[in-house]
Amino acid sequence: MSLHRSTSWRLLLPAGMLVLAGCAGSGPKPDSADDRAQAGAAAPQRELAEIPPAAQTLYEQAVAVMASGDFVDAELRLKEFLLQYPAYPGAHVNLAIIHSQNENDAAAQAAIDAALTLDPSHAAALNQQGMLFRRNGNFIEAEAAYLKAVTASPDYALAHYNLGVLNELYLQRLDVALQHFETYRTLAGEDKQVEKWIADLRRRVAATQRTANVAE
């Protein structure tokens, strides 16, 4: 499949984006060094509120270490946390992200399965499932996972972003990609790089429509 000429540029992540979620939000993380898709594990306050302060600190430290790029230390901290609190899906999702970074798809899938067993509608877990499917060329399955994520959590911006990536670069559905990037922008706020992609997609969608009209 031939991708659009700007693909190499589009495989860069938007600048200034947070790597991972802390205990109150979410943010993107590259699926691989040459991929603009995003992963984010949510850690809602309502879940952490049930965990003793010492354990909260351990989780927050793990997220901070992960954000710094030290995945070895972060993995150890997350596993230590899960030994005490295995029913916390966000920690499983963060482990899935680490395993994905290490290209260990089997371990990533196991961590995603653990998160979804605990919470089948966990948006970050579904987003990560979609990324794993997409990376392995299972585009229709990836779309289904992303759509489950936005159905479970309509304001989960990352899944809309990844739906934009999938539809533009892999499924060649420019109009659908445009819709999801516009939704992402509405939810995530101003992003100059995404603004450029939206403008480019609008031009390409308009050109395709003009060509279709001429053909008729």
Cα(first)–Cα(last) distance of the chain, in Å?
27
pLDDT of residue 47: 57
Q: How is residue 86 annotated by DSSP?
A: T
pLDDT of residue 214: 64
User: In the structure, what pLDDT confidence band is assigned to residue 33 with cuts at 50, 70 and 90?
Assistant: very low
Residues of the chain with pLDDT > 90, as a percent, come to: 67
User: In the structure, what pLDDT confidence band is assigned to residue 210 with cuts at 50, 70 and 90?
Assistant: confident
CA distances from 86 to 9, 42, 119 (A): 40, 16, 12
User: In the structure, what pLDDT confidence band is assigned to residue 19 with cuts at 50, 70 and 90?
Assistant: very low
User: In the structure, what pLDDT confidence band is assigned to residue 25 with cuts at 50, 70 and 90?
Assistant: very low
pLDDT of residue 37: 65
pLDDT of residue 175: 96
Residue 7 has pLDDT above 50, yes or no: no
Q: Whole-model pTM above 0.85?
A: no
Identify which of 140, 118, 154, 132 has the alpha carbon closest to the alpha carbon of residue 39: 132
- Report the greatest alpha carbon distance in the chain: 67
- Lowest-confidence region among 54-63, 110-119, 196-205: 54-63
**Token pair 């590259």: residue:** 30
Domains, the chain, in order of start with CATH, read: 7-154 (1.25.40.10)
| Cβ-based neighbours of 67, under 8 Å, separated by 6 or more | 18, 19, 20
Q: pLDDT (tens digit, 9 = 90+) per residue, 143-165?
A: 999 999 999 999 999 999 999 99
pLDDT of residue 40: 64
